[in-house]
Structure formats: structure tokens, C-alpha cells
């Protein structure tokens, strides 16, 4: 791979299927029924938590959705606000770790279930960053709860704040056509959103937020 990230451990995935003792869960026959299938509800996570991944790098989880944030000497880099509730809880979690302001917010991709609710960070002066392909989606399917990005890029981008860095790597259309892979401090782990999703792979329901883009990565 051109960026030299072979053998990096994928340790933070935004949507995951939590482990359950199989004898306590639904049968395979129940799980294989067509969507919407309530049998998968038993795999849903509740509550929220913060997990330290590396020095100054944390994963914040609210129910089954995760974002990460990085503490630097000059402020905090946060990712995907997800929703007003998620963003508020993440802001509280950040405050428990540091009194630094959130100076930057990075969008992983264009889907509404990851990029809403960022106004709480904008109000404290955060700069929003996304791949340039995200912008047309935000205009095409406007949502008042989405803060438009202040900075966009076309290929890869390295955000440097307070002596630390967040590499944003674009590999082309995949889960979304502006989805980026994040690498804190050029370290040995990546943060990738929606690589694994509760309910199986592929999803057991139509996941696209913009089905009018028939045949495209929307």
C-alpha cells in the first residue's frame, strides 16, 4: 500500500457486534429471518463509555456508535459528532479528560448518522474538516443539524495541532464516496467507521441515506 500501513492493527471500529454467549442469544434460524428482524436487538449496546486507546487518544461510545478524540497541547481533535445527544455526551467525556477546548472536528464520511449534532463544538470555535466529496451530499440532502465543513481536501490530509497529528487517508468510494481512514500520530492503529455493523455483513436493511442516487455511492 502506498502509505506504508501494512500490518497495522485495526483496533477501533465505529459499529461493532458485541460478543454474547451464544446459548443466551437468539437461534440462527431467528437471526436469518428477513429485516426488520428484532432478534438482532439482543446485540445492541446500552449506555456510554470512554476508552483510552493510546496516550491522549480516546474512543467514546454511545450505545453502539463510536467516535474518537485526541488531546493535544493546543486543543482537542474530535471526530463524528453523530447526533446532538452523542456530541453532548462526548463533550462531557472530553471535559473529564482535559480542560482544553475542542478546536477541530473531523467527519469520517457523509452519512447523517455520523455527522449530525456538531453545533456544540462549532459554538466553542471548532474548525470542521471533511473530504471534499462530502460537501455535495450535504447540499444535495440538506440537514439543519449538520455543520458544514470549513476545510476540505481532495486526496489525503494531515491535521497537525499542538505537536500531534491526525492523518486522514482517502482510498476512493467504499462505504461512502468521501469516507476517510484516520491514523492518529502516524501510529500503529487506524480508526475506520462502519467497517463492521451489528446485524451482519452486508446489512440486513437498506442503509443508504439517499436512495435517489441509484447506482452511485451515496
Per residue in 148-206, pLDDT (tens digit) is 999 999 999 999 999 999 999 999 988 888 999 999 999 999 999 987 655 555 554 45
C-alpha cell at 38: 428484532
Give domain status of residue 64, yes or no.
yes
For the residues 109-114, what does the mean pLDDT come to? 92
Domain that holds residue 132: 9-14+45-192
Q: Is 89 part of any domain?
A: yes
Residue 37 domain-assigned (yes or no): no
* 141 domain residue, yes or no: yes
pLDDT at 9: 46
In a domain, 214, yes or no: no
The mean pLDDT of 99-126, rounded to a whole number, is 97
The answer to whether residue 211 is domain-embedded is: no
The count of structural domains within the chain is 1
In a domain, 203, yes or no: no
> What predicted TM-score, i.e. pTM, was given to this entire model?
0.79
What are the CA-CA distances from residue 49 to residues 46, 52, 53, 131, 214 (Å)? 10, 10, 13, 28, 37
Question: What CATH number is attached to the domain comprising 169?
Answer: 3.60.15.10
Retrieve residue 131's grid coordinates: 473530504
* Burial class of residue 29 (count of CB atoms within 10 Å of its CB; 0-12, 13-18, 19+): exposed
Question: Within a domain: residue 131?
Answer: yes
**What whole-number distance in Å separates Cα of residue 6 and Cα of residue 183?**
13
What are 121-147's pLDDT values in tens digits? 999 999 999 999 999 999 998 999 999
Amino acid at each position: 500500500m502506498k502509505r506504508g500501513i501494512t500490518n497495522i492493527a485495526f483496533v477501533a471500529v465505529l459499529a461493532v457486534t458485541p460478543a454474547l454467549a451464544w446459548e443466551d442469544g437468539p437461534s440462527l434460524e431467528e437471526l436469518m429471518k428477513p429485516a426488520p428482524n428484532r432478534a438482532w436487538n439482543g446485540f445492541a449496546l446500552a449506555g456510554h463509555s470512554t476508552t483510552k486507546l493510546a496516550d491522549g487518544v480516546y474512543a467514546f461510545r454511545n450505545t453502539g456508535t463510536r467516535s474518537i478524540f485526541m488531546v493535544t497541547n493546543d486543543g482537542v481533535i474530535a471526530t463524528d459528532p453523530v447526533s446532538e445527544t452523542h456530541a453532548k455526551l462526548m463533550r462531557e467525556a472530553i471535559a473529564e479528560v482535559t480542560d482544553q477546548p475542542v478546536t477541530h472536528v473531523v467527519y469520517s464520511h457523509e452519512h447523517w448518522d455520523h455527522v449530525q449534532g456538531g453545533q456544540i463544538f462549532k459554538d466553542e470555535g471548532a474548525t470542521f474538516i471533511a473530504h471534499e466529496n462530502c460537501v455535495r451530499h450535504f447540499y444535495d440532502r440538506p440537514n439543519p443539524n449538520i455543520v458544514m465543513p470549513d476545510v476540505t481536501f481532495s486526496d489525503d490530509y494531515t491535521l497537525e495541532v499542538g505537536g500531534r497529528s491526525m492523518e486522514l487517508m482517502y482510498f476512493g468510494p467504499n462505504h461512502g464516496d468521501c469516507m476517510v481512514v484516520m491514523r492518529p500520530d502516524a501510529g500503529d492503529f487506524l480508526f475506520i467507521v462502519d467497517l463492521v455493523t451489528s446485524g451482519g455483513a452486508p446489512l440486513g436493511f437498506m442503509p443508504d441515506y439517499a436512495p435517489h442516487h441509484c447506482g452511485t455511492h451515496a
